[in-house]
């Protein structure tokens, strides 16, 4: 059975900030009888997109790996949440690899006119960026641009964007302000989701 919400953990570090945030969100869904699944992206086998043009001629991607199932999961899900560390003002490399592989979805919609996913289904997106350094102007801009395109590609309305910085000094577990903000936004997400279905 497909999960209602896909939670994508974009960090290779186990039991650190992104993982802990993902686990908290999953627990919130459980308490509200919403099914979810955490995908630890660095444990998944996802090839790089080579922009070979295959998906512009044939529906889907030439690579048969862990991404193959994700297309169907994106279609069936009611929402997607991405949690990524900030890497050079953008998302982690494995998250970017996942994003690039949604070229197959883009091509199915706009080139083949035979979409892999139901474009009329309403889905809700959330993006959470976790930066180690103290705040600076461009810290989250690159990742936000990438995520804006990603959520459009998978037909999720990106309604929630949360930024956590300075985790090198104050981790997620110790940051009471961010924990309160996360709690508030997850509640809104759940309420919004219940309102849709």
Tens-digit pLDDT profile for residues 96-155: 999 999 999 999 999 999 999 999 999 999 999 998 888 888 888 998 999 999 999 999
Whether 1 has a pLDDT exceeding 90, the answer reads no
The pLDDT, as a whole number, for residue 31 is 94
Whether 39 has a pLDDT exceeding 70, the answer reads yes
Distance separating alpha carbons of residues 10 and 189, to the nearest angstrom = 20
Q: Is 110 exposed, middle or buried, given 0-12, 13-18 or 19+ CB atoms closer than 10 A? A: exposed
pTM equals 0.94
Region 151-162 average pLDDT:
94
**Number of folded domains in the chain?**
1
Whether 4 has a pLDDT exceeding 70, the answer reads yes
Would you call 164 helix, strand, or coil by DSSP?
Answer: strand
**Residue ranges making up the domain that contains 127:** 5-196
Distance separating alpha carbons of residues 32 and 154, to the nearest angstrom = 25
CATH number for the domain harbouring residue 189:
3.40.50.360
Q: Is 56 exposed, middle or buried, given 0-12, 13-18 or 19+ CB atoms closer than 10 A? A: middle
The pLDDT, as a whole number, for residue 90 is 87
The pLDDT, as a whole number, for residue 78 is 95
Which of 50-59, 83-92, 150-159 is least confident? 83-92
Distance separating alpha carbons of residues 143 and 146, to the nearest angstrom = 5
- For residue 64, the 8-state DSSP code is -
Q: What is the DSSP string of 45-111?
A: --PPP---SGGGTSSS-S--SHHHHHHHHHHH-SEEEEEEE-BTTB--HHHHHHHHHTHHHHHHHHT
The sheet carrying 5-9 orders its strands as: 36-40, 5-9, 79-85, 124-130, 157-164
pLDDT band at 43 (very low <50, low <70, confident <90, very high): very high
């Amino acid at each position: 059975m497909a999960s209602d919400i896909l939670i994508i953990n974009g960090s290779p570090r186990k039991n650190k900030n992104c993982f802990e945030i993902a686990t908290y969100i999953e627990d919130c869904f459980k308490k509200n009888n919403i099914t979810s699944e955490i995908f630890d992206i660095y444990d998944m086998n996802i090839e790089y997109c080579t922009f070979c043009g295959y998906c512009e001629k044939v529906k889907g991607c030439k690579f048969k790996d862990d991404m193959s199932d994700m297309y169907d999961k994106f279609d069936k899900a009611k929402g997607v949440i991405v949690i990524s560390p900030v890497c050079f003002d953008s998302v982690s490399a494995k998250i970017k690899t996942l994003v690039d592989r949604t070229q197959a979805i883009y091509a199915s919609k706009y080139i083949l006119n035979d979409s892999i996913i139901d474009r009329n289904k309403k889905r809700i997106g959330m993006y959470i960026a976790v930066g180690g350094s103290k705040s600076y102007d461009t810290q989250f801009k690159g990742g936000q641009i990438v995520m804006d395109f990603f959520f459009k590609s998978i037909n999720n309305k990106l309604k929630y964007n949360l930024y956590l910085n300075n985790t090198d000094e104050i981790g997620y577990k110790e940051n009471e302000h961010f924990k309160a903000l996360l709690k508030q936004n997850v509640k809104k997400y759940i309420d919004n989701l219940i309102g849709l279905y």
